[in-house]
Structure 1
Amino acid sequence: MLQENAEKTQLIALASEQAYNAVLITDADFNNGGPFIEYCNPAFCQMTGYKREELLGRSPRILQGPQTNLDVIASLRQALEKRTFWEGSAINYRKDSETYVVSWNVSPVFSENGKLSHFVSVQQNITSRIKAERERDMLVKALNQASDPVLVTDEKECIVFVNAAFEKLTGYSAEESLGQTPAFLNSGEQSAAFYRKMWQTLEKNQPFQARFVNRRKDGSCYYVEQSIAPVQDEKGRYTHFISTSWQVDEIVEREKALIAMAEEDKLTGLLTRRAGDEELAKAYYLYREEKRPLSVIICDIDCFKAVNDTYGHLAGDRVIQQVTKTLQEQVRPSDPVIRWGGEEFLVVIHAPMPTAMELAERLRRAVSMLKDKEVGRVTISLGIAEVLPEESIDQLLGRADGALYRAKRNGRNVAMPASGQ
């Protein structure tokens, strides 16, 4: 039995000597400035900068100084006098007067007959942790005061932080956002290819910057220029992704307005040639991929130069507007009418040649019924072409233009089919 107790005592001594945390044992004598130190392990000496022989027989109060919180010490003293467990933290001083923050607990030790004999304390230097927490709190405070939204996710894409600007922009509170993935903001306006490119960039440890169209809590969409950067640990493993963004709704609206101005002819309200090229390309794609028929009609106001020369440009503009209105009244809403040139118009229809010819003749007759108050009767000539197999857009337009030229030569006010039809 004695041997067993001796082995246990030796084991405890070895454990204390080799423990990572600091261990301190004092007596339980409160007289003459006690309790006093009876044991400290190497970790305690390393933490305080004192040698063991410098500590034995002295009061732990040698570690206190001007910045030590006396309320904490008073609380400790009360617990010791009541012989109860205590834990807390305070600023202590090393031998070289350098401060450190210590977290420690103290337990009373009783002998076999129940008499208080010692106090044992386990301590840890938490200075680095406190510093990191303060820096984190400072960073969080700074981010929350930032005017631009900030979002942080972990390596599993779960949101771990959003700032106040993010909450204001999206309408989602931090509580609603944390634990979600950023996908909950997706508006559906951007393709899967867009997000594949994003991840391909991030996986190369490169920041990704692009314009995102996201959706708020209330369902409305907003535009942001967003920058996402991966964060790696010392082993090169992804730990977080940090996203910063700035709202660009006003910029997008201005861009849309500029595009609309570029795509809409000011005089007629029709699509410009630039926008018409895009419409024609879309129609050609449907012809190639979905085998939908495609025809074009090129219309030109007859003797328009003479109108301008004789009656002036105001009269010429008025005639163009009258012809525009007439053409729009005759076509389907799905068939775009484009101002192709000065007095030239292009109609794009998904229909075969016979239907296109019928429409062209209807357009010709409707315009021929116009009578301007100054100019008098107005007529147009038309060239019509249906796309041929393996024919390009330029070739299609070239044949329609050739048909228009022949219509002019044949006396004007004529709808002429293209060659090869």
Structure 2
Amino acid sequence: MSFFHHLLIGLRAAVCAGLLLMACTVRGEGAGPDFQTMFDAHGAVMLLIDPVSGRIVDANPAAAAFYGHSRDALRAMNIEQINTFTPEQVTEERQLAARSGRNYFIFRHRLANDSLRTVEVHSQPFAFGEQTLLLSIIHDITPGRLSNQGLWHYQSMLEELVSEKMAEIDASRYREELLFVTGLIIQTGVIVLLVNNIRRRKRLQRERSAMARIMADERQRLIDILWGTGAGTWEWHLPTGAVRVNSQWAGMVGRTPEELAGLTEHGLREFVHPDDLARFLSARQQHVDGESPAYECEMRVRSGRDGWIWVMDRGRVVTRGDDGTPLSMAGTWLEITGKKQYEDKLRLAASVFTHAREAIMITALDGKIVEVNDAFCRITGFDRDDVLGRTPAVLSSGRHDASFYAAMWRALRESGHWQGEVWNRRKDGALFAEMLTISAVGDEHGRAPYYVALFSDITAQKLHESELERYAHYDGLTGLPNRLLMMDRLRQAMAVAERRGSRLAVAYLDLDGFKAVNDTHGHAAGDEVLSTLAERFRQAVREGDTIARLGGDEFVAVLVDPGSSEMVQSVLQRLLDAAARPVVWNGHPLEVSASIGVAYYPQGGEPDAEALVQQADDAMYLAKQSGKNRFYLADPA
């Protein structure tokens, strides 16, 4: 600086008596915005919170716009009035974030209109004088919502720094010119004013040093804020292709800032997944060409040597040449791997719901159907619009009583789960069997606002089981129970008789002369005789009794609580009469008779079912030896 210029500066000092006020307002080179300016101007939702009491100390305008409360209202609130999580749930989420290696939390925040939003909260403690506060930056990640908020806070601050600096330079230049004109007029007091000017320069130097320290502190605070958000920053100088990144950006790709010191734009491309590269370059180029106000792209980038993560890349041109040519761009990377995984899970769940072969029905707590899938419509014949808003009673077949459904709801209330077979009715009225599973679906508060029912059509399976059971337990020719079913019923009848102190009788019946019918007239005639006599025997016994065919021409009757001996003999005589009546086949009367052995239960020795049948069989042979067409009572063992 020349001596003449020093002199001119000295002449300016005498212009007005408010020189000290002017000196206080002059800011040295390198001055920048303070933290509060940054906090108020930033577009991201920010809260300053007392970590001890949870009181919201301050909220920026973006927070007021997001929550729907005024800033004064937010300053009078506690964070627990916004965060719907209980203290226990907040602790659990913090532990989950620590176990998962996340540097953020996921909460549910309530807005002024009582709507709930799922948010991602990045918090970091900072010292404000003697007080330590939590700076929380909130991102809305509600499912289905693609955020259009820009994470431009560091760029906005830098732009504000530039704007403020330019304004200060312009103001300083104006004052310098004014003082220059005035100094030319004032020609006296040069020596005194020169001394004062020297003092003023020293004072300004001290102020400039103090301002430099403040600016360094603010820059460090800004760096800390960026670190707290987990955002990686990048700057691209278009003419040279050079790219500068911060440590968070380097950490995302598994490198150190030193390893990326010479990074270029072409080198940056190597980190982008090949399937996403064309989309990334196209979106960025559209912004460079002025077709969009900012650039934004979700893409996969290499993390370490083998892994991939999802990031939200946002940026914009920050400087242009005199002809409008872009000179530099700046932006951020924010990892959204968790968000993308959550979206993938939602898409998968929707696909499974739609394409599952099992029918799916979702009901609210009041029982109203809120959603069904395609398989439900295919199995039941109902269209989706036919059942929405109605209850599952629209499917009721009437085959289950009130106690069945009461037991179902009791299981749901106690365990949140029920499974079983249910008969329901299709839209056309046809009955069908289904294997049904119902589960209560809980929310993050432990409540179960929905029930999900899954079922498959097992009608064909049930019919097949019925056929198999019939083949396994009934005689194919006569339709009478076979030996297996007869023995099962006999054991049950013996148990009942023992409990009630009653008795039962087992009658073993063998046809006399049946072999002659087969030999003379053939097996078709023999089958006709067996079928006809089986029906007669069924009518001869009471409804609660069992008449079974053991095979060949042998039958067994289980007479439950038959009453007196005279009543038993009456039943036995009806069986003998039924066997003795001729059976007409092709115009020929076919005649047989029967020999019956009878054993009672209970008796001495307490025989089992097999022994009781054997006693009756032995008695039947004694009846044959006594002349046939008669019954014989076995002696108790």
Q: TM-score range by the shorter chain?
A: 0.5 to 0.7
Q: Is the 8 A contact 1:357 1:417 kept in 2?
A: no
Q: Which whole-Å CA distance do the structure 2 matches of 1:306 and 1:184 have between them?
A: 57
Q: What displacement does 1:391 show?
A: 4.5
The 1-side partners of 2:545 and 2:63 are apart by: 90
User: Percent sequence identity over matched residues?
Assistant: 24
1:403 maps to 619
Matched, 1:322 2:532: yes
Q: Which residue matches 1:122?
A: none
* 2:580 paired with 1:368: yes
- Deviation, 1:402, is 2.0
* Alpha-carbon distance between aligned partners in 2 of 1:21 and 1:224, rounded to the nearest angstrom: 58
Residues 93 and 261 from structure 1, CA distance in 2 versus in 1: closer, same or farther, beyond 3 angstroms? closer
Q: Over the residues paired in the alignment, what is the CA RMSD in angstroms? A: 5.6
Deviation at 1:363, TM superposition (A): 1.7
Q: 1:202 offset after TM fit, Å?
A: 6.7
Corresponding position of 1:377: 591
**Cα gap change, 1:341 to 1:53, in 2 (>3 Å):** same
Q: In 2 relative to 1, CA 21–272 (structure 1 residues): closer, same or farther, beyond 3 Å?
A: farther
**Whole-angstrom CA distance in 2 between matches of 1:196 and 1:240:** 14
- Residue 370 of structure 1 deviates from its aligned partner by 2.1
- 1:261 corresponds to 2:471: yes
| Counterpart residue type for residue 260 of structure 1 | R
Match of 1:386 in 2: 600
Q: How many angstroms does 1:361 deviate by? A: 1.5
User: Is this contact kept in 2: 1:383–1:416, CA < 8 A?
Assistant: yes
- Whether 2:523 is the aligned partner of 1:419: answer no
* Cα shift at 1:379: 0.7
User: CA 1:22–1:221 in structure 2 vs 1: closer, same or farther (change >3 Å)?
Assistant: farther
In the superposition, the TM-score normalised over structure 2's length comes to: 0.42
Change (3 A) 1:338 1:185: closer
Taking the aligned partners of 2:297 and 2:153, their CA distance within structure 1 comes to: 9
Query: Which range moved further: 136-145 or 340-349?
Result: 136-145
Distance change (3 Å), C-alpha of 1:348 and 1:355: same
Cα 1:55/1:362, change in 2 over 3 Å: same
Letter in 2 for 1:393: A
1:404 offset after TM fit, Å?
A: 0.8
CA contact (8 A) 2:355 2:374 kept: yes
Moved more, 273-282 or 350-359: 273-282
Contact 1:307 1:375 in 2 (8 A): no
Q: Is the 8 A contact 2:47 2:63 kept in 1?
A: no
Deviations 1:203-248 (A, max 9, x none): 8xxx98x652243487875322345678789999999875533211
The question of whether the paired residues in 2 share the 8 Å contact of 1:273 and 1:340 is answered with yes
Query: Aligned equivalents of 1:148 and 1:91: distance in 2?
Result: 44
After superposition, the C-alpha distances for 1:96-116 in whole angstroms (9 at most, x for unaligned) are 9x6589xxxxxxxxxxxxxxx
> Which residue number in structure 1 is paired with residue 546 of structure 2?
336
Distance apart, 1:132 and its partner CA? 5.5
Classify 1:136/1:22 alpha carbon distance in 2 versus 1 (closer, same or farther; 3 Å).
Answer: farther
Pairs aligned (count): 343
1:229-244 matches, cutoff 5 A: 243-244=453-454
Change in Cα spacing, 1:17 to 1:145, as seen in structure 2 (3 Å) is closer
User: What SS class does the counterpart of residue 602 from structure 2 fall into?
Assistant: coil
Q: In the TM superposition, what are the counterparts of 1:189-228 in structure 2 within 5 Å?
A: 211-216=420-425, 222-226=432-436
d(CA) in 1 for partners of 2:375 and 2:60? 42
In structure 2, the residue matched to 1:80 is none
Q: How does 1:68-217 map to 2 (within 5 A)?
A: 99=312, 136=346, 139-140=349-350, 142-151=352-361, 161-166=371-376, 169=379, 173-177=387-391, 188=400, 211-216=420-425
Q: Is the 8 A contact 2:421 2:433 kept in 1?
A: yes
2:422 partner amino acid = V
Work out whether residues 185 and 215 of structure 1, in 8 Å CA contact, stay in contact via their aligned partners in 2.
yes
Quote the Cα distance in structure 2 between the aligned partners of 1:164 and 1:387: 59
- Structure 1 158/381 Cα, relative in aligned 2: closer, same or farther at 3 Å? same
Q: Which runs of 5+ in 1 are unaligned?
A: 1-8, 26-40, 60-64, 68-89, 102-125
Indicate conservation of the 8 Å contact 1:231/1:240, yes or no.
Answer: yes
Distance 2:630 2:599 in 1: 14
Question: Could you tell me how far 1:254 is from its partner in structure 2?
Answer: 2.0
Equivalent pair of 1:301/1:378 in contact (CA under 8 Å) = yes
SS at match of 1:176: coil
Query: How far did residue 261 of structure 1 move?
Result: 3.3
Equivalent residue for 1:120? Answer: none
Q: Which moved more, 1:270-279 or 1:127-136?
A: 127-136
Q: Is this contact kept in 2: 1:150–1:244, CA < 8 A?
A: yes
Residue identity opposite 1:336 in structure 2: T
SS at match of 1:399: helix
Deviation at 1:418, TM superposition (A): 2.0
Is the aligned partner of 1:270 residue 2:480? yes
Distance 1:251 1:93, change over 3 A: closer
